[in-house]
């Protein structure tokens, strides 16, 4: 098999851990696999360099930032290569440029445009383990670029796609994707397989294990993605095409996002396009509006509610007051979003019914609802949110293997 | 003027110092100069990375070492560029590759083969200050290479030569080249101008300010080299062609090297080619033999003496005993080499006479002597060596401007 393995900053956080990664890579090589290994900077390095730049400028030129930030991954790739060579393996480190990763010119948040795999292919043919400095590429005018936060995952997925790898393993400090947060529900179970779309929902609902950008790219390039721990031998979670999952459960998991706040506008100004004005102003200020509800009050007035990330509430408040959009403005920081995710929902009615009756049984008031084909999200009082997660986890029997 | 400025690890040792370097560079730019600035890694960084590699392997592959070690200079170049941009100057950082520095494939001690100055020339035309990551280049097969210790000086001199710069300023933590070590003779005077050949003698005699390799390259490429301090505004020492120095003093300075040991072989075996065997075996073991004296004793036996660096004495001892080269072997660690350097000697007799009479006046026994066109070296008892330096400094009136 051709496997792309990616080890993040925590997995290569110190020399001992880099040594452990080397052993892990060696074992996979011994099993007969061809390997391309993508590494991040040692944890803390990138932030240290950002701090250095910050000493000189609050808005350093992005081209120079990329020259600065791309150095950390180069260090890790060289060290891992040295460690593998010492163990008797033929390894070769490559910068993003040497691995043929071309990007656009949006320095510090560049997008991969294409990968010239020739150099990697040639080295694989010679039996070498390739160690690629993640997070970085080269622009068409030959300047180093970086891909932004989570960029090493993107490097790995893009390489797996371009090389037609059988598997792309993302190693982190967690075992995989769980039916819900094990700190909230101790019967939470690791999911063996999950579809790209479900993973996208989980990721956007705050599951830290993978970023949306990487999952989207994996879906687009049809890359079989595995997320697993670098600290144990557990199997991890495979993220793949829906067709590859034989028995898809109706509900895959329950997500909880406490980092939400609600803005309520009662008695909204009777002015054409006022809603459009509100949301375009919020967008201009880069505020991520999530759920939106509009209804007409019993006295004919319009009420509008939406949620934003907690840390963007202050800015949202200022905008609402400046716009003077409604007679009555209310803000609520003490809410949370509980979401039920599962591709099986599409073909099974009754999922929403179970959700609502579970909430009712526990006397939890649902303040807002939004649904998609594979997700139901409910806004509830934050103090009942963990109870809601546990009750739903049980109601859908998520502790039992489907 | 086109000036190449090089700042070493101590000069860019922390963020505050990088800020000071930025101010210094800006000032030179304000004076109307075109600037290429070469920087080292922040002091300690390269040793830290070597320590990391050492954790994994006692003999890491040199290609990987270069991938590892080249990162430190990239960081400094980006930071200095950011600092200058914040001050309103147009600056651009460049890796060795981007600066067009091509080397052979002797990783970790590569030699510069040629410099493609096109990218630097284009950026200079646009008025930019170019910040080059020193110590590194790229091989013809496109791998990062490093130039070995002192490599950033070489980068600077080679760039100055290739660009036809008017001046190459090497900034360190000392003011320049002195007539002798100021810690030994407080009347030591900074030398304003000195020839390449004299500087080469001083460098090989242990003056730390510049390495031989850089001075040799400056001589070959006819680069006017200035060594000066980055911590004050003092003028420094210009190292240039002999013709450029109007009034060359007879003697330029006195050098002292305490890091010497003597091996004496009395009653050397009467065997053809025994001397050749001794010195070829020492050479095979990479021992740097400096002075050699051979004479025939009054009873017809042959005596042989030579000096080696103190830290190579043990190996030399073992070799001598293995060869069983002489009946009587003696070793002396407590010697020092005092040298008088000056191109003026060539045309002035009497320099040696003054040296010998000065030593005699102070009752200092000269144990070995070696001379060249521009140098007289004497081996003396280490405990009299500083007295010898002070006496000679006075004898040649080095405290007075010539």
A45-56 vs A62-69: helix crossing angle, rounded to 10: 140
* Per-residue pLDDT tens digits for A136-159: 999 999 999 999 988 999 999 999
- What was the pLDDT predicted at A134? 97
Query: B-contacting residues of A 73-102, CB under 8 Å?
Result: 74-75, 77-79, 81-83, 85-86, 92-93, 95, 98
- What was the pLDDT predicted at A276? 84
Give long-range contacts, CB 8 A cutoff, 24+ apart: B213-216: B213/B150, B213/B153, B213/B154, B214/B150, B214/B153, B214/B154, B214/B156, B214/B157, B214/B170, B215/B239
Closest-CA distance of chain A to residue B103, Å: 18
**Residue among B19, B52, B75 whose CB faces A71 most closely:** B75
Same domain flag for A140 and A283:
no
**Residue among A64, A68, A86 whose CB faces B57 most closely:** A86
Residues of chain B with C-beta less than 8 angstroms from the C-beta of A76: none
Tell me which chain A residue has its CA closest to the CA of residue B94: A67
- What was the pLDDT predicted at B402? 57
- Name the residue with tokens 């034989």: A246
Confidence of residue B206 (pLDDT cuts 50, 70, 90): low
Choose between A35 and A373: higher pLDDT.
A35
How many residue pairs from chains A and B have C-beta atoms closer than 8 A? Answer: 107
Are the C-beta atoms of A210 and A168 separated by less than 8 Å? no
Tell me if B220 is assigned to some domain.
no
- Domain extent, residue B89, equals 2-173
Q: Which of A57, A58, A64, A100 is the best residue to mutate to test the B interface, defined by the most B CB atoms within 10 Å of its own CB?
A: A64
Tell me which chain A residue has its CA closest to the CA of residue B62: A82
**Residue among B15, B49, B78 whose CB faces A67 most closely:** B78
Confidence of residue A296 (pLDDT cuts 50, 70, 90): confident
Q: What is the DSSP string of B105-145?
A: S-TTS--EEEE--HHHHHHHHTTPEEEEETTEEEETTS-EE
- What was the pLDDT predicted at A402? 57
User: Strands, E, within A223-291: which ranges?
Assistant: 225-229, 237-240, 253-268
Tell me if A380 is assigned to some domain.
yes
Q: Name the percent of chain A lying above pLDDT 90.
A: 72
Q: What is the CATH number of the domain that holds B162?
A: 3.40.1160.10
CB contact set of B109 (below 8 Å; sequence gap of 6+): B146, B147, B148
Tell me which chain B residue has its CA closest to the CA of residue A19: B56
Same domain flag for A160 and A263:
no
- What was the pLDDT predicted at A206? 63
The whole-number average pLDDT for the span B16-35 is: 97
Closest-CA distance of chain B to residue A173, Å: 23
- What was the pLDDT predicted at A297? 67
Look at residues B147, B173, B199 and tell me which one is the last residue of a structural domain.
B173
Tell me which chain B residue has its CA closest to the CA of residue A90: B61
Res. B401: pLDDT tops 80? no
The span from the CA of B130 to the CA of B166, in Å, is 16
Confidence of residue A91 (pLDDT cuts 50, 70, 90): very high
Q: B68 vs A82: CB contact, 8 Å cut-off?
A: yes
Confidence of residue B207 (pLDDT cuts 50, 70, 90): low
Look at residues B149, B173, B197 and tell me which one is the last residue of a structural domain.
B173
Tell me if A218 is assigned to some domain.
no
Same domain flag for B136 and B272:
no
Residues of chain A with C-beta less than 8 angstroms from the C-beta of B55: 15, 19
Residues of chain B with C-beta less than 8 angstroms from the C-beta of A99: none
Same domain flag for A142 and A43:
yes
φ, ψ (nearest 5 deg) of residue A115: -125, 125
Same domain flag for B43 and B152:
yes
Same domain flag for B19 and B165:
yes
Tell me which chain A residue has its CA closest to the CA of residue B65: A78
Structure-block tokens of residue A63: 């081209």
Closest-CA distance of chain B to residue A225, Å: 29
Same domain flag for A45 and A156:
yes
Are the C-beta atoms of B293 and B368 separated by less than 8 Å? yes
**Residue among A19, A49, A81 whose CB faces B75 most closely:** A49
Q: A98 vs B142: CB contact, 8 Å cut-off?
A: yes
Confidence of residue B204 (pLDDT cuts 50, 70, 90): confident
**Residue among B15, B67, B142 whose CB faces A55 most closely:** B15
Closest-CA distance of chain A to residue B178, Å: 36
Closest-CA distance of chain A to residue B168, Å: 25
**Residue among A22, A61, A92 whose CB faces B82 most closely:** A61
Q: What is the CATH number of the domain that holds B293?
A: 3.30.2130.10
Q: B82 vs A65: CB contact, 8 Å cut-off?
A: yes
Tell me if A179 is assigned to some domain.
no
Same domain flag for A259 and A153:
no
The whole-number average pLDDT for the span A334-363 is: 89
Closest-CA distance of chain A to residue B59, Å: 8
- Name the residue with tokens 């609502």: A356
Q: B78 vs A65: CB contact, 8 Å cut-off?
A: yes
Choose between B126 and A205: higher pLDDT.
B126
Tell me if B208 is assigned to some domain.
no
Query: Which of B69, B90, B93 lies closest to B80, judged by CA?
Result: B93
Same domain flag for A300 and A168:
no
pTM: 0.84
Query: A-contacting residues of B 186-205, CB under 8 Å?
Result: none
Q: A15 vs B55: CB contact, 8 Å cut-off?
A: yes
The whole-number average pLDDT for the span A212-228 is: 94
Tell me which chain B residue has its CA closest to the CA of residue A59: B86
Residues of chain A with C-beta less than 8 angstroms from the C-beta of B19: 55-56
Confidence of residue A324 (pLDDT cuts 50, 70, 90): confident
Look at residues A173, A197, A232 and tell me which one is the last residue of a structural domain.
A173
Structure-block tokens of residue A79: 């060290």
The whole-number average pLDDT for the span B145-168 is: 95
- The domain tally of chain A equals 2
Res. B211: pLDDT tops 60? yes
Structure-block tokens of residue A15: 């020399």
Are the C-beta atoms of A392 and A340 separated by less than 8 Å? yes
Res. B20: pLDDT tops 80? yes
- What was the pLDDT predicted at A28? 97
Q: B57 vs A98: CB contact, 8 Å cut-off?
A: no
Same domain flag for B135 and B269:
no
Closest-CA distance of chain B to residue A399, Å: 44
Are the C-beta atoms of B100 and B163 separated by less than 8 Å? no
* Per-residue pLDDT tens digits for B263-313: 999 888 777 778 888 899 998 888 888 888 877 766 767 888 899 999 999
Q: B85 vs A61: CB contact, 8 Å cut-off?
A: yes
The verdict on B371 touching A (C-beta cutoff 8 Å) is no
Residues of chain B with C-beta less than 8 angstroms from the C-beta of A75: 49, 52, 68, 71
Res. B79: pLDDT tops 70? yes
Closest-CA distance of chain B to residue A74, Å: 7
Q: Name the percent of chain A lying above pLDDT 70.
A: 97
Tell me if B36 is assigned to some domain.
yes
Query: Which of A65, A101, A80 lies closest to A25, judged by CA?
Result: A80
Same domain flag for B13 and B150:
yes
**Residue among A60, A78, A95 whose CB faces B64 most closely:** A78
Tell me if B178 is assigned to some domain.
no
Same domain flag for B16 and B106:
yes
Tell me if A164 is assigned to some domain.
yes
């Amino acid at each position: 098999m051709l496997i792309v393995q990616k080890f993040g900053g925590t997995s290569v956080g110190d020399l001992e851990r880099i040594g452990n990664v080397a052993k892990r890579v060696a074992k996979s090589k011994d099993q007969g696999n061809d390997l391309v290994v993508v590494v991040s900077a040692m944890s803390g390095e990138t932030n240290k360099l950002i701090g250095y730049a910050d000493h000189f400028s609050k808005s350093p030129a992005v081209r120079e930032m990329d020259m600065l930030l791309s150095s950390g991954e180069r260090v890790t790739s060289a060290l891992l290569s040295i460690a593998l060579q010492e163990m008797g393996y033929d390894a070769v480190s490559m910068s993003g440029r040497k691995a043929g990763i071309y990007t656009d010119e949006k320095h510090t948040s560049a997008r991969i445009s294409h990968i010239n795999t020739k150099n990697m292919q040639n080295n694989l043919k010679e039996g070498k383990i390739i160690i690629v400095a993640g997070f970085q590429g080269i622009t068409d005018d030959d300047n180093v670029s970086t891909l932004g936060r989570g960029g090493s995952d993107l490097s790995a997925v893009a390489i797996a796609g371009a090389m037609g790898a059988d598997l792309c393993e993302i190693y982190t400090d967690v075992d995989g994707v769980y039916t819900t947060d094990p700190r909230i529900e101790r019967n939470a179970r690791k999911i063996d397989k999950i579809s790209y779309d479900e993973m996208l929902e989980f990721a956007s609902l705050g599951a830290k294990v993978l970023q949306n950008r990487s999952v989207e790219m994996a879906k687009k390039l049809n890359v079989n993605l595995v997320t697993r721990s670098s600290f144990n031998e557990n199997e991890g979670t495979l993220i793949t095409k829906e067709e590859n999952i034989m028995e898809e459960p109706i509900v895959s998991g329950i997500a909880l996002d406490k980092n939400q706040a609600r803005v309520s506008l009662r008695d909204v100004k009777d002015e054409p396009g006022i809603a459009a004005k509100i949301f375009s102003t919020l967008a201009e200020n880069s505020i991520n509006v999530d759920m939106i509800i509009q209804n007409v009050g019993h006295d004919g007035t319009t009420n509008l509610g939406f949620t934003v990330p907690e840390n963007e509430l202050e800015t949202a408040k200022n905008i609402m007051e400046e716009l003077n959009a409604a007679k009555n403005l209310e803000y609520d920081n003490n809410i949370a979003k509980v979401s039920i995710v599962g591709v099986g929902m599409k073909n099974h009615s009754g999922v929403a019914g179970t959700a609502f009756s579970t909430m009712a049984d526990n006397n939890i008031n649902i303040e807002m609802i939004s649904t998609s084909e594979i997700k139901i999200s409910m806004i509830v009082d934050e103090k009942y949110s963990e109870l809601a997660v546990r009750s739903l986890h049980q109601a859908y029997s998520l502790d039992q293997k489907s």
